Structure 1
């Protein structure tokens, strides 16, 4: 609020539209540039100081923000979904977007996103590459199973996609050369994706236990359903856990209900599904594990507890008991399992926060 010049940037891959707003003279200074960082910095430095800059988060990433911050320029990256736009404005141009950002910055109406470091962004890319491999593998397996189903071939020898199932798949053969080639190429594609997924798993495991994320990963693994991949994914995607509380992290992950209240009426709907999609999916999948009875920790869980601190073990044990009891209470009230699981995931986010931030309060979310 104390800068003289507020600068809005509309950043694209091949061009950058800038607009500076001088609070002392009221002058509006538009400028169009290439995406070269040095050129952008030179224009910003030429403006009346002190200067602060904002641009929207998007596909161009955070490189420009890190560059400007390193040069001593106060820079914010705005959350696009939180920008206030006039409902009657039907003209949208790069110059108008840059001016709009500059005005919001001067008014203090920018909701900024956290700017990760280059190493944190690289770790996040690794996690998301593994997520892409998971999706590719699922689609590849669906193609194979549906190809066989169209020919009336159904596997009935136990659980699918095990070693025995893969041997059964290798024995399948078709008389038509075109169909046999299609089937062979589908199997080959699936094995290539499996190899890629395994390489990514190895890299993630190595980074999880030999990096700055290791203490958080060890603590999160004290909870049921939180494997190494899940713990590392949550640590990378959320980053700084201390910017949340046990009750606000659920809202950040989009696990709280939508609401429309007016006067004495209050109406709640499905969850908002805002925020980090990958972290939300990890928590929802982990929440299903707490439906099973929890009388004593499993051998795998005990082995993970040995690598964690005594405080994390105590918190993890308490969290596992409470989350299972919550599952039981929802089932006794005849809640739909899908809805109950989302509620468990919301509370699980609070327990993850308490472990990752080293806080003794899980701040359970109300029903």
Structure 2
């Protein structure tokens, strides 16, 4: 491998990017302020004296910059933010300091890369998470209707949100016209969300055979209690299962994840050679991965 000539740390924001570059031969440190445009940042990195290696933190801007730099032949590391070393006394945060820190950590080999997913894998993950967000909206809409009826002392003797319960809701007539209008609006919102959820679920099921996770979904469906949608949710959160084979502890976690689908999708994403992280109960996929009644 050719010796790296230019090292660059990028502090990436939605509207701007601050770059800190270090010339390996002269040791000169320079800063540049760029717009948030991916093409402009990629062109800046390509113009550096090569070979070049770049790093930035994983964040809401996604992986488009990493893909474009890789296509240009520029080495790029997308660093896991939670694994970046931070000194206790390092309390001052500025864009220039953050960019310089990334460049120096990259030179020292102390950054933990995350895996950059393929575009089709990322698109399918967005679809899975769109369904997850929609299910959260549906739960909140149902809660609003339930609390409205409770305030009017209207109760249902049975299981909520079954077909019989929905028929009962349609027959309710509240004494106050305004309250009745609010009830009808809430029921209409619930019906619309159900239609949207069914549409997303049909798309997810149809995309599985040609998806990057077709084999993993088929294997997970062999486990009791895991259907196609739950298996796809697990794959979307885990990303790739090969990272659990780095050591004995990781293999143990992988087997435990398959035994406990409620917690399987919440492992940290780390890159090749990285250590698989722990399982977090607070991950956004935790509630989604629980089998729930519709």
- TM-score band, normalised by shorter chain: 0.7 to 0.9
Counterpart selection for 1:247 from 237, 247, 252: 252
Who is 1:126 aligned against? 127
CA RMSD of aligned residues (A): 2.3
Preserved CA contact (<8 Å) 2:18 2:34: yes
> 1:234 & 1:254 partners in 2: Cα distance?
9
Distance in 2 between residues matched to 1:253 and 1:207, nearest whole Å:
20
Q: Which residue matches 1:201?
A: 201
Question: Corresponding residue for 1:107?
Answer: 108
1:134-155 CA-partner distances (Å, limit 9, x unpaired)? 1111111111111111111111
Cα deviation, residue 254, structure 1: 5.3
- Tell me which residue corresponds to 1:177: 177
What is the distance in 2 between the residues matched to 1:86 and 1:18? 22
Relative distance call for 1:252 and 1:46 in structure 2 (3 A) is: farther
Contact 1:126 1:200 in 2 (8 A): yes
1:57-107 alpha-carbon deviations (Å, 9 max, x no partner): 111111111111111111111111111122212321111110000011011
Deviations 1:320-339 (A, max 9, x none): xxxxxxxxxxxxxxxxxxxx
Task: Work out whether residues 121 and 211 of structure 2, in 8 Å CA contact, stay in contact via their aligned partners in 1.
Answer: no
Provide the residue aligned with 1:237 in structure 2: 237
Which one of the candidate residues 276, 280, 291 is aligned to 1:273?
280
Question: Any unmatched runs of 5+ in structure 1?
Answer: 257-270, 289-367
CA contact (8 A) 2:80 2:112 kept: yes
- TM-score w.r.t. length of structure 1: 0.69
Give distance in 1, aligned partners of 2:13 and 2:36. Answer: 7
Map of 2:7 onto structure 1: 6
Alignment of 1:1-367 (within 5 A): 2-156=3-157, 158-245=158-245, 246-249=251-254, 273=280, 277-278=284-285, 280-281=286-287, 285=290
CA distance in 2, matches of 1:27, 1:134: 52
Match in the other structure for 1:307:
none
Distance 1:218 1:197 in 2: 23
Question: CA contact under 8 A between 2:18 and 2:95: conserved in structure 1?
Answer: yes
Q: After superposition, what is the alpha-carbon deviation per residue over 1:228-247, rounded to whole angstroms, capped at 9, x for unaligned? A: 11111112332321121322
Structure 1 position 29, deviation (Å): 1.4
In the TM superposition, what whole-angstrom CA distance separates every residue of 1:242-261 from its partner, at most 9, and x where no partner exists? 121322445995579xxxxx
CA contact (8 A) 1:253 1:277 kept: no
Give the aligned length.
270
Alignment check: 8 A CA contact 1:253 1:273 kept? no
Contact preservation (8 Å) 1:237, 1:276:
no
- Which consecutive unaligned segments of at least 5 residues does structure 2 have? 246-250, 258-262, 269-277
Residue of structure 2 equivalent to 1:343 = none
